[in-house]
Amino acid sequence: MGIEIPMCHGLSLNIGDPPSGRKAYPTETLQKGFLLFDQGQELAEEAVGFGVPILKRGLQTIFPGAATLAWLRQGTIWNVTALYKLNLVEKISDAGNNAVEKKSLYAVKNGLAALIRSLPILRRPLTVISNLLRRFFNWKTIYTQAGFSTDLKVLYTLNTETGRFKIEMDTSGIPSEITEVMVMNEQGANIFDRYMDTSGIFLRGQEIGCWDEVIAREAWFESHAHRVTFRLGRVKGARLFRGRELLGSRLAWAGFGYSFSPSIQSFQYELSIEKRP
State residue 247's pLDDT score. Answer: 84
Residue 137 above 60 pLDDT?
Answer: no
Structure-model confidence comparison of residues 203 and 113, the more confident one = 203
Dihedral sign from CA coordinates of 137, 145, 70, 168: negative
What's residue 119's pLDDT?
62
Segment 206-223 shows an average pLDDT of 95
Reported confidence tier of residue 110, pLDDT bands at 50, 70, 90: low
Topology, domain 3-275: Beta-galactosidase; Chain A, domain 5 (2.70.98)
pLDDT at residue number 253: 96
Give the per-residue pLDDT at 132: 58
- Taking 80 as the threshold, does the pLDDT of residue 257 lie above it? yes
pLDDT at position 58 is 86
Average pLDDT, the chain: 88
Q: pLDDT for 21-40, tens place per residue?
A: 566 788 888 999 999 999 99
d(CA 275, CA 181): 30
Q: In this predicted structure, what is the pLDDT of residue 210?
A: 87
pLDDT above 70 coverage of the chain, percent? 81
Residue 152 neighbours by CB distance under 10 Å? 23
20 has a pLDDT exceeding 70: no
CA atoms of 156 and 80, how far apart (whole Å): 5
**More confident of the two residues 26 and 95:** 26
pLDDT for 258: 98
pLDDT tens for 165-179 read 999 999 999 999 999
Average pLDDT (178-196) is 97
Kindly indicate the confidence band of residue 133, based on its pLDDT and cuts at 50, 70 and 90. low
Q: Distance between CA atoms of 54 and 183, rounded to whole angstroms?
A: 6
Could you give the CA distance from residue 234 to residue 230 in angstroms, rounded to a whole number?
14
Alpha carbon distance 35, 19 (integer Å): 9
Query: What is the mean pLDDT of the segment spanning 118-138?
Result: 58
Domain boundaries in the chain?
3-275
Does the pLDDT of residue 79 top 90, yes or no? yes
CA 152 to chain centre: 16
Q: What is the pTM of this model?
A: 0.88
Whether 235 has a pLDDT exceeding 70, the answer reads yes
- For 116, phi then psi, to 5°, come to -60, -40
